[in-house]
Structure 1
Amino acid sequence: MHTSGTTSAPKGVQIRRHGLDELLTSLRARTRPEIFERYLSIVPLSLLIEQVAGLYMPFLAGGSVSFLPPGTALVGTAADAAPRMLTLLRAARPTALVVPPTVAGLFLALCDQQPAESIPERHRRIFGHDGPVFVACGGAPVPPEILQRLDAYGLTVHEGYGLSENSSVVSWNFPGAVRFGTVGRPLDHVRAELAEDGELLIRSTSLFAGYTREDPSSVVVDDQGRLHTGDLAEIDADGYLRITGRKKNLVITAGGRNVAPEWVEARYRELGFVREAAVVADGLDQVHGLFVIDAGLDPATARREITDFGRRKLSGIERAAAVHLMSEDDPAYATCFTVTGRPRRDVVRAHVLKQPRTPAPAAARPRRRLDISPS
């Protein structure tokens, strides 16, 4: 299985057949077979999680898999994705699907269209049937407020965490065991612990057999058999994991403070018009934020809303002092962000340094703000 590295050539992650069997056994122990009766695949099969969730699990459950028509753009990558998604969902009538984080916001927009309808009515309108749907999400955190509002609508999004070096899934929220703001509890064959600096270490019987070649993004397995994930995490009293950021992505401010950009980016995505966010600061005199906003939104309004949100919700060392805007149809979008919405930070840093600096708007007088809160 090839995964992107820090250089131009992807590195091969050697997956053991025994490890894959262990992973699938653990996943099947946490899910009912009927969940995978009709799976809709909307993210690339080049992602290992999609191979696991979109091929192995449905086949083991005796289910079917529907793929997007040839030439169809990925769901969640365009401003007009909501109506297009409805057409795809109603046609496939899925019982399960894995979605990129941006799709959670699109689901909320669909739910907000008719807030008074019953849960079966909402499921029929969105998914084409009134039965339960297992919606899984990973790759980047979804703001807990969005997850909670979706859950109140009867549409639960289950966040999880994994990496190719563990044959994909490490932990997941499953039906009946969901804690918003976390990526769930480790699977039965995985043991998780924290290093002194907060790095997540895992012991697992589904660990990989090594790389076809090494690069600076390679993770290591120490002499105690623990895989050093490179991710910073917290583990609560009930064993639920919360990923706080990538160890290598820590933003070091001019004052020497460390900030995990992933958490800051998730907060900014609480703004309904922010599709993606990326925060960079290393080697810069201030924190820069690149924000992908809805098409057609007035840039001055968006910049003011983002600046005001940072002043209200984030500390001085976390908020973006320099705000840069981008639309999803900008040619640079595909180079700055991966298909799952993860920022390519070196590319983002180079991009924002080429942009003219726009001073942050002055603190505004009380006025109506753009948000996604219910009326």
Structure 2
Amino acid sequence: MSETAVNHDLTAIENRAPNVGRQFFDRVQASPNREAYRFPKGDAWESVTWKETGDEVTRLAAGLVALGLEPEQRVGIASSTRYEWILADLAIMSAGGATTTVYPSTMAEDVAYILADSECRVVFAEDDEQVAKLTAHKSELPHLDRVVTFDGTPDGDWVIGLADLEKLGEELLAQSPGVVEERIEATSPDALATLIYTSGTTGRPKGVRLRHSSWTYEGTAIKAQGILDENDLQYLWLPMAHSFGKVLLSTQLACGFATAVDGRVEKIIENLAVVRPTFMGAAPRIFEKAHGRIITMQQTEGGIKEKLFNQAFAVGTKVRQLKLEGKPVPFLLAKQHALFDKLVFAKIRERFGGRVRFFISGAAALNQEVAEWFHVAGILILEGYGLTETSAGSFVNHPDEYRFGTVGQVFPGSEVRIAEDGEVLIKGPGVMDGYHNLPEQTADTLQDGWLHTGDIGEVDADGFLRITDRKKDLFKTSGGKYIAPSSVESQFKAVCPYASQFLVHGNDRNFCVALITLDPDAMAEWATHNGMTGASYKEIVSSQKVQDMVQGYVDQLNARLNRWETVKKWILLDHDLSVESGELTPSMKVKRKVVEGNYKDQIDALYR
């Protein structure tokens, strides 16, 4: 077995706050008048300081105590990403409770399962739609005493508003001013802070039990690496029900930067231009979409603009290669590059606000070519890696030390091993206590303190981890050749700017086939330039022109693959995969087994 770790000064990590409530109020005390959050209010953005946030969290935490919340009892949050989500989360943990996260897109039956399994006492519900899911399954939720709604309609009894909860808190604080501080003091580092239900690509979601010390570790470990400080500005849109969003909150508490919060995905590009952040976390799909959009826009423009664009990237690629090799850039090439930077690359950077120091990509694998393309344009995407079971972050690349195609080096204070079968094993303060009410699955995943991730990877001599695939996704052809489907799938997204999903199949078969979906937004744009304006997605993708175009991209993909990996046949689906259809998890991962089951007949037909 190989083993590696990165050496850092671990003093700050060892001396970190004992719980999230203390970490939050330490930040309030250290930066009372600095901006903490900003959020959309109508057409403008409203800003609050750490002191103002602290006062509001105190009132809400006291309100939860007034409702009878006991230490480590669970409180659900069923809402999209917004400032109130963060207030609720901080209030729950400051009151000694444990946050249970629920995606707003989760079906009512699954919401009921999660809240019943976690025995939630209180639930913060965003609006009437979320309240209705709870009301419909009220008889299955015997532990649920009260619902607190952000924007929904209170009924004065079971459902109350956020202002009502604050009022309860104010009344309790008038009698017992130190009630929240007492709860924080009584919360041990090992106390349950969060129960996150993995959206799961198979079966029922599992509740991952994460301690306070895991979250304080995550934030402090990132701070110890010197990546971010209080002068940064984060733009946060990620779903907070996902551990990637949650870890960025603990990072903010440790580092002290301000965060602009708006969970509306359709507003990302518009908001980036207004907020002008210095960094943002995102899933690879955001970068793939942005890359595809810019490429197709240039192809549509054609003529001199497209030539200029292509030339800029040719020059930029040469300059980047010379710098990576530590060689000087010739004078004329440097002059050319400076001109192209002004004419082409600066405009790409401006789309993201113009001030981004780096993006952090997580939750799925980022295609190396897409990362390198952005880098040529002067935009650095640092890939990281972790699981819900490791409180999200376990590895990350650094702005001054990164390798594309890897997820960086292990966090200070954690360790990594590669098992004999290639599986990545992780040990450290971020690793979960176990799965809620699932002792057997906990024992399978946690062995001697080492978390078995289910991912296959390799660590280089400098400690950079490269993930090659999910262990359960690897398959063998009837010819005995092993194939890592995610590698092939990722490469298709790099060559085809219209791609949304590309799923490779071939287990025990004599060749590989693929199911393909295209991005509906990109195809609507394509249709306006190809005489199909107003046509439905189904009509567009079934046209001969699109079928021929996709075949061209499949041919490009096959030219770079080993013979046994090449895709011999494929189907273009007449709809994109979605969370609503049950084919994607709420965090946008493909449920491979569900998709294979749904299209079994079509896949079998490709082999006849």
TM-score bracket for this pair, using the shorter chain length: 0.7 to 0.9
Q: Does 2:212 correspond to 1:10?
A: no
For 1:239, the aligned partner's letter is G
Q: Does 2:182 correspond to 1:182?
A: no
Q: Which has the larger radius of gyration?
A: 2
Task: Identify if the C-alpha distance between structure 1 residues 33 and 308 changes in structure 2 by more than 3 Å, giving closer, same or farther.
Answer: closer
| Cα distance in 1 between the residues matched to 2:602 and 2:476 | 22
Mapped contact 1:97–1:136 kept (Cα < 8 A): yes
Q: Which residue of 1 aligns with 2:250?
A: 56
Q: Deviations over 1:286-307 (max 9, x none)?
A: 4331222242464312431243
The 5 A counterparts of 1:1-375 are 1-5=196-200, 8-34=203-229, 37-53=232-248, 55-68=249-262, 72=264, 74-75=265-266, 85-109=268-292, 116-118=340-342, 121-122=346-347, 125-128=350-353, 130-214=354-438, 220-223=445-448, 225-271=449-495, 272-282=497-507, 286-294=511-519, 295=523, 296=527, 298-326=545-573, 334-355=581-602
Task: Identify if the C-alpha distance between structure 1 residues 215 and 159 changes in structure 2 by more than 3 Å, giving closer, same or farther.
Answer: farther
Mapped contact 1:183–1:240 kept (Cα < 8 A): yes
For 2:501, the aligned partner's letter is E
TM-score for both structures, normalised by structure 1: 0.81
Task: Identify if the C-alpha distance between structure 1 residues 124 and 293 changes in structure 2 by more than 3 Å, giving closer, same or farther.
Answer: closer
Between the aligned residues of both structures, percent identity stands at: 27
Task: Identify if the C-alpha distance between structure 1 residues 110 and 268 changes in structure 2 by more than 3 Å, giving closer, same or farther.
Answer: closer
310-319 vs 154-163, which moves further: 310-319
Q: Which residue of 1 aligns with 2:148?
A: none
Mapped contact 2:244–2:362 kept (Cα < 8 A): no
- 1:269 counterpart SS class: helix
Per the TM alignment, residue 215 of structure 1 is displaced from its structure 2 partner at its CA by: 9.2
269-278 vs 105-114, which moves further: 105-114
| Cα distance in 2 between the residues matched to 1:356 and 1:207 | 39
Gaps of 5+ in 1: 76-83, 361-375
TM-score for both structures, normalised by structure 2: 0.52
The structure richer in helix per residue is: 2
| Cα distance in 2 between the residues matched to 1:24 and 1:60 | 5
Per the TM alignment, residue 358 of structure 1 is displaced from its structure 2 partner at its CA by: 7.8
Task: Identify if the C-alpha distance between structure 1 residues 7 and 235 changes in structure 2 by more than 3 Å, giving closer, same or farther.
Answer: closer
Q: Deviations over 1:240-295 (max 9, x none)?
A: 00000011111121223221111111111112222222223336564331222242
Q: Deviations over 1:153-182 (max 9, x none)?
A: 110111111011111111011211110000
Per the TM alignment, residue 209 of structure 1 is displaced from its structure 2 partner at its CA by: 0.7
| Cα distance in 1 between the residues matched to 2:405 and 2:463 | 13
- 2:582 counterpart SS class: helix
Mapped contact 2:501–2:577 kept (Cα < 8 A): no
Q: Deviations over 1:311-331 (max 9, x none)?
A: 311123222333122366566
Aligned CA RMSD, in angstroms, stands at 3.0
For 1:344, the aligned partner's letter is K
- 1:178 counterpart SS class: coil
Q: Deviations over 1:92-135 (max 9, x none)?
A: 2222211121222334356666753439944762233x434331
- 2:421 counterpart SS class: coil
201-210 vs 183-192, which moves further: 201-210
- 1:348 counterpart SS class: helix
Mapped contact 1:326–1:333 kept (Cα < 8 A): no
Task: Identify if the C-alpha distance between structure 1 residues 262 and 214 changes in structure 2 by more than 3 Å, giving closer, same or farther.
Answer: farther
Mapped contact 1:101–1:340 kept (Cα < 8 A): no
